[in-house]
């Protein structure tokens, strides 16, 4: 049994309508990362200086030493950059979510006061702005629990949302265990979604690494304000157009005090604020506002059937009849690498038909022979499987005239005589008339062509049967 944990399908081709308040075409979420005073520093008990997201591109940690220029860069964010951003957003009357590193908030009481006075949401950005990838699960849990304790002490209320950023494979699970209303340690979608974590449904509000000023601090990032503005505008335009077409989305914009708070960059942000506010139907929520809306409009629901999470007995019992009277197909499919993508109709169809495609010709022929004739004796005797009965009925084959039934009988016999297996066609793709026409066309085929055609039709039948069971 092989199970693949990553979810590569998400909402698939038809994401839900978020139904944003007021019929908004787009939700634009601004996030300010407040990390100044929480970064790696010997003063904070760390082994080396900070090296991440600064004006010093390509900086490396200095083990056992403080880094004056790095510290100064971070200090700019707290001393000047924060206040420039605060003036811009309070003037525009657009609320923010702050990803607040707890130790940084504790060292910046005036900035914290200003955030609270402005009505900004203050979420947790972890205890310290450090890497978590090498921590044990218990060590990271301890950091996160202490972050919540200190956040509650410093802010006055516990955090409702979580974003570590420099996270580990355990971060989202641990945040869910802490009972967060939302978690943003993903960059995998344009809409929120519910993630099963144990017995809990955790709301995930994906973040962004592209519409993010951090790209000013990396080698292949934004070269100047015009590039930043253009990228934000293009992202907004694409998502706004999708919203106008009935598929509204969410746009996240990531900001850092020491990066976007610089005077040479903030005017690009101001141009974007003006541009976004010039459009009708734009919602500027905090992330907690998105979470409350999603919970009310799209509450969690665990779809009843999860093939990738079933044991063998349940899987075969549930899907053993999808390929007509051939449970061995489901038995072999269970042993494939299944994951969340196979919890949907197209995904599980692919797993089942992979088994058929790799089967021997003798096995394939046996599957073909197990299918009933169309409008044949089994149908007349009401001995079809429920699936076959439904399929033949959908094409009108259970209500034939005597003349039509005689025609079907004659063609079934001619087909069986020539090819040695029943005529198979996905009835739900057809009508009585198109099936009659297909009989004529396919009777002229050679056996090899018709064998391949019949197998392809079995694959279509598998899809239709799964479509009635899975998303």
Sign of the four-CA dihedral 377, 383, 385, 390: positive
CA 251 from centre of chain:
15
Using an 8 Å Cβ cutoff, are 10 and 189 in contact?
yes
Element (H, E) at 28: strand 26-34
As a whole number of angstroms, the distance between CA 243 and CA 30 comes to 19
CB atoms within 10 A of CB 12: 12
Closest-CA residue to 285 (of 88, 20, 86): 20
Using an 8 Å Cβ cutoff, are 231 and 210 in contact?
yes
Hey, is 98 helix, strand or coil?
strand
Q: Which neighbouring-strand residues pair with 202?
A: 195
Element (H, E) at 30: strand 26-34
The full DSSP string for 300-341 is ----S--GGGS-HHHHHHHHTTSSTT-HHHHHHHHTSEE-GG
CA 364 from centre of chain:
36
Whether 371 is catalytic: yes
CB atoms within 10 A of CB 402: 7
CB atoms within 10 A of CB 297: 13
Element (H, E) at 266: helix 263-277
As a whole number of angstroms, the distance between CA 266 and CA 262 comes to 6
- From the list 151, 342, 371, 464, the catalytic residue is 371
| Catalytic residue positions, numbered | 371
């Amino acid at each position: 049994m092989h199970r693949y944990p990553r979810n590569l399908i998400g909402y698939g081709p038809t994401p839900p309508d978020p139904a944003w308040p007021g019929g908004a075409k787009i939700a634009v979420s601004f996030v300010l990362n407040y990390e100044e005073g929480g970064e790696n520093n010997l003063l904070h008990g760390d082994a080396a200086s900070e090296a991440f997201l600064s004006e010093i591109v390509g900086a490396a940690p200095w083990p056992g030493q403080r880094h004056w220029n790095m510290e100064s860069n971070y200090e700019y964010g707290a001393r000047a950059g924060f206040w420039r951003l605060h003036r811009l957003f309070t003037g525009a009357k657009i609320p923010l979510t702050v990803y607040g590193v707890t130790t940084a908030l504790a060292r910046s009481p005036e900035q914290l006061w200003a955030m609270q006075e402005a009505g900004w949401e203050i979420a947790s950005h972890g205890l310290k702005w450090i890497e978590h990838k090498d921590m044990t699960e218990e060590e990271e849990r301890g950091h996160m629990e202490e972050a919540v304790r200190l956040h509650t002490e410093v802010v006055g209320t516990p955090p409702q949302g979580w974003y570590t950023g420099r996270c580990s494979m355990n971060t989202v699970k641990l945040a869910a265990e802490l009972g967060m209303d939302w978690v943003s340690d993903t960059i995998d979608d344009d809409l929120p979604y519910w993630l099963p974590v144990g017995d809990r449904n955790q709301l995930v509000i994906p973040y962004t690494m592209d519409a993010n000023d951090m790209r000013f601090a990396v080698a292949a990032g934004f070269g100047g304000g015009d590039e930043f503005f253009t990228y934000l505008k293009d992202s907004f335009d694409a998502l706004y157009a999708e919203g106008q077409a009935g598929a509204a989305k969410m746009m996240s914009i990531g900001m850092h005090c020491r990066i976007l708070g610089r005077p040479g960059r903030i005017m690009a942000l101001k141009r974007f604020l003006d541009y976004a506010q010039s459009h009708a139907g734009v919602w500027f929520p905090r992330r907690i506002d998105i979470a409350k809306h999603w919970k009310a409009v799209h509450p969690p629901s665990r779809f009843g059937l999860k093939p990738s999470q079933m044991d063998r007995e349940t899987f075969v019992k549930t899907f053993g009849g999808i390929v007509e009277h051939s449970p061995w197909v489901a038995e072999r499919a269970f042993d494939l690498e299944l994951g969340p993508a196979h919890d949907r109709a197209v995904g599980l169809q692919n797993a089942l038909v992979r088994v058929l495609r790799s089967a021997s010709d003798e096995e394939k022929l046996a599957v073909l022979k197990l299918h009933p004739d169309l409008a044949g004796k089994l149908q007349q005797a009401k001995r079809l499987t429920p699936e076959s009965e439904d399929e033949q009925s959908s094409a009108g084959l259970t209500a034939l005239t005597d003349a039509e039934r005689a025609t079907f009988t004659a063609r079934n016999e001619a087909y069986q005589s020539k090819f040695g297996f029943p005529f198979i066609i996905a009835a739900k793709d057809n009508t009585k008339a198109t099936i009659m026409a297909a009989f004529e066309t396919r009777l002229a085929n050679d056996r090899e062509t018709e064998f391949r055609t019949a197998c392809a039709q079995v694959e279509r039948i598998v899809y239709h049967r799964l479509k009635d069971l899975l998303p």
